[in-house]
Amino acid sequence: MGRNESLHDEAEETIDNINKRTGRNMPQAIGTAIVLIVAILACLLIRIDLFVLLVVVFMLLALWELRVDFATVGLHIPVVMLWICSAVTLIGTYYSPYHLATMSLCVMASLILVSLAATARLSFGNRLSLAVAGKLSATDAGARLGSSFNHEGGERHHSRLSHVAVSVLTVLYIPLLASAIIIGLTFHGHPVAHAIMFVFLPALSDTGGLFAGAWLGKHKLSPRISPKKSVEGLVGSCLFAMAGAFAVFACTYDASAWATRWWVPVVMGVLVGVVGTFGDLCASMIKRDLGIKDMGHLLKGHGGVMDRVDSILMTAPFVCALLWATGL
């Protein structure tokens, strides 16, 4: 009995050490990742339209998280208008025969409508206030002190132009970048392979960066913005994304494509690794400036939806452009 307890204590200690090195609850993170992978693959295998719907749902959840995050410092974005504009943009982009033109028109209309809606501050019940209170209570004092905003002095009052500015940023961050994922499903006849590359290559890149950084990381990439990011982690991100790209290409394209475009997975791996890491740093900079630890709490072990999709959104235009330009 004593030996079993000793093994159990050693296992817990090992898990705690891993959690400290990676900065997250790894058992929870792995469990959540498995659920997400199964859901995404199920949508892709059943019908590509379901994957589009899944993207829309995730973007709507991400918008709510940003609504709460910005509200912690007194900035308000018109989440209902953003929900409507984002859903119309993503669904319209996919089903319209003129994908790029539809996306452009919808994004321009969204910028106008969201900017107008941002000048009117509307409130729907106390759900937002409760979410903001929960967010602030879960954030340590050190993070709040490092913020550009004064959490301790009550809610900050901003000009209407400030609310419009963060609302415009949200349009460019969520529906515009997410539209690149949708457009990538519409050309060259490989929607499933493209969807896998859009979603899973950044996830592999994050995994490679996490493990390489945890076990080998010695040279900090940007200690002020994200202390856990390292040069070794960046190299791991590129290598893991590259390996994933080679695997998807091997299962998708024939020998003639490999003969002339064997270099594409290499370029894609580097692109996803570098741009995905840049996306993580941008999200970390926003969180640090707002004085919060995670964008949300919807995904156990991963923080919020935004914490998972930031690198996916940032890499989507680059992956889409590469696939289109190379005819793959």
Same domain, 232 and 176: no
Same domain, 178 and 194: no
Same domain, 165 and 268: no
Residue 37 lies in a domain: no
Residue 33 lies in a domain: no
**Which residues, at least 6 apart from 305, have a Cβ–Cβ distance to it below 8 Å?**
58, 61, 62, 65, 295, 296, 298, 299
Pairing of strands 220-222, 226-230: antiparallel
**Which residues, at least 6 apart from 181, have a Cβ–Cβ distance to it below 8 Å?**
55, 195, 198, 199, 312, 316, 320
Tell whether the model's pLDDT for residue 301 goes beyond 70: no
Point out the domain boundary residue: 140, 162, 183: 183
How many residues are listed for the chain in this entry? Answer: 328
Point out the domain boundary residue: 183, 205, 238: 183
| 188 Rama class: left (phi>0) / alpha (psi -120 to 50) / beta | left
Tokens 């749902």 sit at which residue? 57
Same domain, 195 and 327: yes
Tokens 């330009």 sit at which residue? 325
Residue 34 lies in a domain: no
pLDDT, residue 227, reads: 67
pLDDT in tens, 192-245: 999 999 999 998 998 888 887 777 767 777 666 676 777 888 888 999 999 999
Residue 136 to residue 87: CA distance in whole angstroms:
29
pLDDT, residue 8, reads: 47
Same domain, 327 and 199: yes
**pTM of the predicted model, to two decimals?**
0.84
DSSP helix/strand/coil, 78: coil
DSSP helix/strand/coil, 229: strand
Tell whether the model's pLDDT for residue 6 goes beyond 90: no
Same domain, 115 and 241: no
**Which residues, at least 6 apart from 113, have a Cβ–Cβ distance to it below 8 Å?**
81, 85
Same domain, 162 and 282: no
Same domain, 174 and 291: no
Same domain, 266 and 309: yes
Point out the domain boundary residue: 183, 215, 242: 183
Residue 39 lies in a domain: no
The band of 170, judged by pLDDT with boundaries at 50, 70 and 90, is very high
Residue 257 to residue 71: CA distance in whole angstroms:
49
Q: Positive or negative, the Cα torsion across 288, 289, 295, 296?
A: positive
Tell whether the model's pLDDT for residue 11 goes beyond 50: no
Same domain, 111 and 235: no
Domain count, the chain: 2
Q: Give the range of the structural domain holding residue 294, as residue numbers without chain letter.
A: 190-328
Residue 14 lies in a domain: no
